[in-house]
């Protein structure tokens, strides 16, 4: 079985306007990096649209209706101070969430060992009833709900984006079948994710990293806080919110990870997936705003997925 790559050209039609950090060129940079000969054996698949049923497991119908109605026929519409949408944004969001569900289906069917979803808009800031932080649908939460609907009893989400995934935590924190583990800079946008937030069932672990933290602090947090909790949870599938904005070059925050750190954490998560989940692991692109760092980091992440 190979690693599958799910993406769709519609994700490039989500136009956020000149100068916006969550731009179309982000995805182009990742996809160019994955055209290298090293990735010739990727199982490349077109992301389908997510279904209304899949979305409504996380997002109420009233939110979905109001979000679709907010999409402009031309130009741009502003959902919050950070989140802009254009005529192509709705289709891009449908394909982004659909990619995660389809990747889970492929992994559960044994068609792929694991998968990477190269999609945008990202998702982990989207609350069930609110778009925010560049995010419309919470792609990884929709995927977790889909995995539960497919019979997975224990679903773990690991988020190493530099920003805390507030929307994902909101979705997970009341459900003992879900585990949310996050490393992120603290304090930082969106202001959630303190180490004191544990979820109703101790099913949330926030490993906070101070500004200027680098590889030693990140790896120590993963090894001492995330991996032991993941091991105890014994997930049947692992989902990854793969944000690469903790890279030292990234302009949006102040951590100092390098490409080797993203390869290392992917390998460690792969070991946990092999131990508990028959290798089942699906990763979805979140942040990363320096194009060179993003492309290089995504490439080593996917190489590690192919190797586990």
Q: What is the pLDDT of residues 260-304, one digit of tens each?
A: 999 999 999 999 999 999 999 999 999 999 999 999 999 999 999
Q: What is the pLDDT of residues 83-112, one digit of tens each?
A: 999 999 999 999 999 999 999 999 999 999
Residues 57-71 have a mean pLDDT of 98
Reported confidence tier of residue 1, pLDDT bands at 50, 70, 90: confident
Confirm whether 184 is a catalytic residue. Answer: no
Long-range contacts, stretch 80-85, CB < 8 angstroms, 24+ apart: 80/131, 80/132, 80/133, 82/132, 82/133, 82/134, 83/131, 83/132, 83/133, 83/134, 83/135, 83/136, 84/16, 84/17, 84/20, 85/14, 85/16, 85/136
Q: What is the pLDDT of residues 188-217, one digit of tens each?
A: 999 999 999 999 999 999 999 999 999 999
Measured between alpha carbons, how far is 259 from 261 in angstroms, rounded to an integer? 5
Q: What is the pLDDT of residues 128-186, one digit of tens each?
A: 999 999 999 999 999 999 999 999 999 999 999 999 999 999 999 999 999 999 999 99
What's the confidence (pLDDT) of residue 240?
99
What's the confidence (pLDDT) of residue 121?
98
The answer to whether the CB of 233 falls within 8 A of the CB of 181 is: no
**For residue 35, what are the contacts with CB-CB under 8 A and spacing of at least 6?**
none
* Residue owning tokens 């160019």: 32
Q: Which residue of the set 14, 125, 184, 256 is catalytic?
A: 125
Q: What is the pLDDT of residues 244-261, one digit of tens each?
A: 999 999 999 999 999 999
What's the confidence (pLDDT) of residue 305?
98
Residue 2 token pair: 């190979």
Q: Is the pTM of this model over 0.95?
A: yes
Q: What is the mean pLDDT of the chain?
A: 98
């Amino acid at each position: 079985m190979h690693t599958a790559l799910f993406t769709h050209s519609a994700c490039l039609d989500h136009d956020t306007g000149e100068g916006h950090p969550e731009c179309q060129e982000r995805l182009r940079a990742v996809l160019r990096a994955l055209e290298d000969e090293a990735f010739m054996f990727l199982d490349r698949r077109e992301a389908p649209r997510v279904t209304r049923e899949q979305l409504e497991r996380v997002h109420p119908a009233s939110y979905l209706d109001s979000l679709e109605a907010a999409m402009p026929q031309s130009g741009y519409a502003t959902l919050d101070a950070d989140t802009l949408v254009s005529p192509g944004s709705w289709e891009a969001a449908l394909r982004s969430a659909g990619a995660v569900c389809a990747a889970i289906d492929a992994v559960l069917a044994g068609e792929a060992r694991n998968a990477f979803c190269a999609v945008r808009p990202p998702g982990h800031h989207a609350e069930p009833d609110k778009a925010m932080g560049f995010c419309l649908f919470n792609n990884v939460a929709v995927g977790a709900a889909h995995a539960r609907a497919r019979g997975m009893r224990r679903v773990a989400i690991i988020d190493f984006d530099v920003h805390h995934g507030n929307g994902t935590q909101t979705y997970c924190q009341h459900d003992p079948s879900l585990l949310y583990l996050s490393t992120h800079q603290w304090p930082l946008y969106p202001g959630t994710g303190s180490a004191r937030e544990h979820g109703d069932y101790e099913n949330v672990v926030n490993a906070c990293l101070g500004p200027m933290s680098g590889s030693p602090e990140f790896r120590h947090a993963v090894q001492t806080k995330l991996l032991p909790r993941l091991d105890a949870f014994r997930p049947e599938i692992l989902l990854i919110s793969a944000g690469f904005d903790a890279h030292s070059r990234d302009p949006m925050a102040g951590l100092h990870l390098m490409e080797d750190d993203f390869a290392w954490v992917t390998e460690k998560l792969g070991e946990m997936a092999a131990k508990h989940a028959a290798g089942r692991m699906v990763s979805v692109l979140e942040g990363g705003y320096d194009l060179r760092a993003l492309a290089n980091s995504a490439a080593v992440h996917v190489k590690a997925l192919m190797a586990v």
